[in-house]
Chains A and B, each alone.
Chain A
Amino acid sequence: MNLKTGKGLLPALLLLLTAALSSCDKVPAPYSTVASNIDTTLYPPPSFSIDPNAPRKVLIEDYTGHTCGNCPDAAVVLKGILASNPNVVALAVHAGSTFAPPQPPKYPDDWRTEVGTAFDNRFGVSSAGQPNGLINRRSVSGSPIVFHTSWANLVNQYLSEDPIADVELAVKTYFDPSTRRLVTYVHSGFVETISDEVNLGVYLVEDSIVGAQKWYNQGLVDDYMHDYVHMDMLRRNISPIWGVSLGANNAAGKIQRREWQIVVPAEFHAEHLKVLAFVYKVSNNEVIQATDVHIIE
């Protein structure tokens, strides 16, 4: 082999290869850390005592999608209910295989979430057609799925049945904008004795997301609105999807505290974020109390 002209080539190559191979990082297992240890000196847990007159709040879930042209009508109804009643908590779940998947180029966004899809699968809302909703996930004549024209009546009915909460929920949050860490404390105070097993679910909800939406009968070109403002959108779960168990046989006067720490993704706007919490009976999924707070006051 005659490599005269290429003298020094081989060592140079080897040198390059060594240099190249060192420009490669190997991350050791387990590759990730779970943000679980809360620094309680920085983020002290709040004090809490049960208010026996805490008002009952009703959860309205609006199952929607950006290519669902009738869905904004339901959002308008929801907005009206929220404006006239402080004891209503709203959650817009973008889910289903028909109206929620992205359809670029006009509807490029994917607002679906793992948690929203799990909710939708359990209650079968989108497959019953959209818009549709759940009010406290309570069954009305055999099904929890309720069309938006009935929402206001049901809310009034549930609130007038018993205006005082069985469980009082109090949410306290700390948000550090530099690290984007969000600490959430949730106190559940049992006003009444509840023998059923109950779960506490905690979720992150964002308001004022501007994006495309189909909206019929508005005189829009192709019923297309590029700057629709989405409210109360379910963004992710803070607790596991189906919440954590608060156990069964909680006697009146019992207080339970749960806490979480998460890192808020950069694309979420902190000033529009809310933490939504609700307690539901495991046996029949019925929500018995709900509340939400903005993470920035």
Chain B
Amino acid sequence: MKKHILTGLSVLGLSAVTYSQTPKENNWGTLTGLAGADVQFYTRDSIIGAPVVPEKMRMNAFLFLNYRKGGFYAGARMEFYQPKPLLGIDERFQGQGIPYYFAGYQYKGLDITAGGFYEQFGNGLTLRSYEARQLGFDNFLQGFRVKYNVKGIYIKGVFGRMRDFWTWSRGTVRGIDAEINFNETVPKLKNSKFRLRVGGSFVSVNRPDGEKVIGQEVLALPLNVGNAAGRLNLGYGNFSLSGEFAYKFNDPSTPNHYIYKPGASALLTATYAATNWGISVGAKRIDNFDYRTDREAVGNRLLVNWVPMLNKQHTYALAASIYPYAVQYVGEQGLQADLNFTIPRGSKLGGKYGMDININASIVYGLDTTNRPSRATVFGSDTVLTPDRYGYSAGAGLGKEYYQDFNIEITKKFNKKWKLTVMYMQLWANLNVLTVSTLGKDPFVHAHIGVADLTWRINNSHSLRIEAEGMYTKQDQGSWLMGLVEWTFAPHWSVSLMNQYNIGHPVPEKRLNYPLGSVVYNMGSHRFQLSYGRQRAGVLCIGGVCRAVPAANGLTLGYIGSF
């Protein structure tokens, strides 16, 4: 349901709906498909700052077909963004065609793919190619991939160029990954409480660049940039510990301001999960880990790796899309603790169905990059001081504070008809760093957010959900209120009305309402949605990768379905 709210919020994004494949095996093999289309009609609305869309109407659409017969498989995805992509999606996607296509076969433990493929090594510190349609993010590789596994040993090799909108990256990605699952490899450990997996990966990007000129300097560039990582997953009973360390060789680039120091990243997570409670504690330190197939690429373009977020990914509108945290690949360090527990059934608080409580806290700091010597060069008739190209030497100290989030969420089902979720969140965000947001001028925001989400199951086919949210802050755009009423009459219809109200904007004329109405019709694995209203400017993040969402007003038609 929350997913639906998020979708309703980001009317510009394509809806993410999981789909189930029901293979109909016959002599001709199996064909499955997934299709989606979003059409938006834009209305002028200068008071909310909606950009004018001269095309009036834009569409994003795709059709993905996947064919399989025995060990053979093939697929392709047609994409269409015309006359331009929906607002907020990178305009360089404008166009239509079949960028993604592949064929391959599996034979026992061997799997060979030619064409486009998505892949991830470990946590993604060395390689992660994936698609996030709502973000307008797609960095699949086109080339060859080989996967092989035998007795708990998993090996992958990739060689390819990366999608760069409608062309390919100039750089080429080469990578290998190997992992041993000792519980599968060692017969004695097959049913052991002790679990052990060890893996490692190496990726090298070839970037055919000549020299780079900055000011008076001519930089010598590494043609091949390597990135290596090792990882360990250890478990015993309810306890598990996982960690990954990665080291990136010299990689001067626009995001890191052309420094040559190597990158290093460490991730560590410990989890304990018992029957009624579980805790997860994580730490990370990311130093100079922006890794791309083109050293001049910025934003979300041509990223080879992915740095996991160590913050809760919120789903409630005010918590998710005004001040979310965007992971800083060039450097950050942070901690997160996440505690879940259930007050058992039958207890005083737990009642008949128990009560779920989630407490989550995270904090992120930058690195201390102040220690950066300069270099004196006698230049013509004077001496020029240039920054030392090695870069800063980051000590163990903390840099600037980037983000803080403390939140508690309680879910209680009272009886068969009533269910309530309440959430409180306190956040602190440094907007100087989270530059995706262009919301206002005050760089430090401290906000309190409260959410109440009540579901009333009237009978087997009708249910009503009411959501109320408030955000209190004195900074930036000030406080917000949000309300939502959603009426679902199963199995087909769902109608919702939502309003967001910027009650505390420092400029009284900008204390605006953002009403949005939606109708959803479900038909098996097909879903149609029609929304009309205002979309407020904000930020959309998936896994710590973010994009700005511009303000918009208008009618949106959406379809997603599979067969």
Contact = CB atoms under 8 A, between A and B. Distances in A.
Interface residues of B, number: 50
A95 to B, nearest CB: 18
Contacts of B375: 30
Contacts of A216: none
Contact of A16 (B157, B377, B384): B157
Interface string A8-44: 0100010011001101111101111111101000000
A142 interface: no
Interface centre among B187, B225, B226 (most CB of A within 10 A): B226
Interface stretch (A79-87, A260-268, A269-277): A260-268
Nearest to B188: A1
B490 interface: no
Interface string A237-251: 101100011000000
Nearest to A1: B186
Contact of A24 (B185, B211, B224): B224
A5 B150 contact: yes
Contacts of A192: none
A32 B217 contact: yes
A27 B151 contact: no
Contacts, number: 125
Interface residues of A, number: 44
Contacts of B51: 105-106
B219 A24 contact: no
A262 B217 CA distance: 8
B52 interface: yes
Nearest to A262: B216
A36 B216 CA distance: 8
A26 B250 contact: yes
A2 B379 contact: no
A221 interface: yes
A19 to B, nearest CB: 9
Given A24-B226, A221-B54, A32 B389 contact: yes
Nearest to B389: A31
Interface in A197-223: 221-222
A244 B382 contact: yes
A258 interface: yes
A3 interface: yes
B217 A34 contact: yes
B286 to A, nearest CB: 20
B260 interface: yes
A29 B262 CA distance: 13
A282 to B, nearest CB: 14
A221 B52 contact: yes
Given A21-B202, A27-B221, A30-B375, A5 B151 contact: yes
B220 A27 contact: yes
Nearest to B260: A31
Nearest to A36: B379
A33 B484 CA distance: 61
Interface in B209-235: 211, 213-226, 228
A34 B204 CA distance: 29
B177 to A, nearest CB: 11
Contact of B377 (A25, A36, A221): A36
The secondary-structure label for the interface of chain B is strand
A9 B157 CA distance: 14
A250 to B, nearest CB: 15
A129 B475 CA distance: 25
Interface centre among A33, A259, A265 (most CB of B within 10 A): A33
B54 A20 contact: no
B176 interface: yes
B17 to A, nearest CB: 28
A1 B188 CA distance: 9
Contacts of B217: 32-35
A32 B220 contact: yes
Interface string B160-181: 0000000000000011101000
Contacts of A34: 216-218, 377, 379, 384, 386
A132 B486 CA distance: 54
Nearest to B187: A2
Contacts of B186: 1
A236 interface: yes
Contacts of A30: 375, 389
Contacts of A17: 176, 202
A20 B176 contact: yes
Interface centre among A24, A245, A259 (most CB of B within 10 A): A24
Contacts of B91: 105
Contact of B153 (A9, A244, A261): A9
A16 B222 contact: no
A113 to B, nearest CB: 11
Contacts of A16: 157, 176
Given A17-B176, A25-B225, A261-B380, A31 B218 contact: no
A240 B390 contact: no
Contacts of A106: 51
Interface string B383-397: 010100110000000
A269 B344 CA distance: 72
B381 interface: yes
Contact of B222 (A5, A27, A32): A27
Contacts of B381: 244, 258-259
Contacts of B249: 24-26
Interface centre among B54, B217, B381, B382 (most CB of A within 10 A): B381
Contacts of B202: 17, 20-21
A40 to B, nearest CB: 12
B378 interface: yes
Contact of A13 (B54, B178, B386, B390): B178
Interface centre among A31, A105, A245, A259 (most CB of B within 10 A): A31
Interface centre among A24, A32, A36 (most CB of B within 10 A): A32
A6 B151 contact: yes
B450 interface: no
A101 B190 CA distance: 60
Contact of A23 (B211, B216, B226): B226
B411 interface: no
6 contacts: A20-B174, A24-B226, A32-B217, A35-B218, A240-B382, A244-B382
Given A26-B249, A263-B213, 10 more contacts: A3-B151, A21-B228, A24-B224, A25-B225, A25-B250, A27-B220, A36-B380, A38-B380, A261-B380, A264-B213
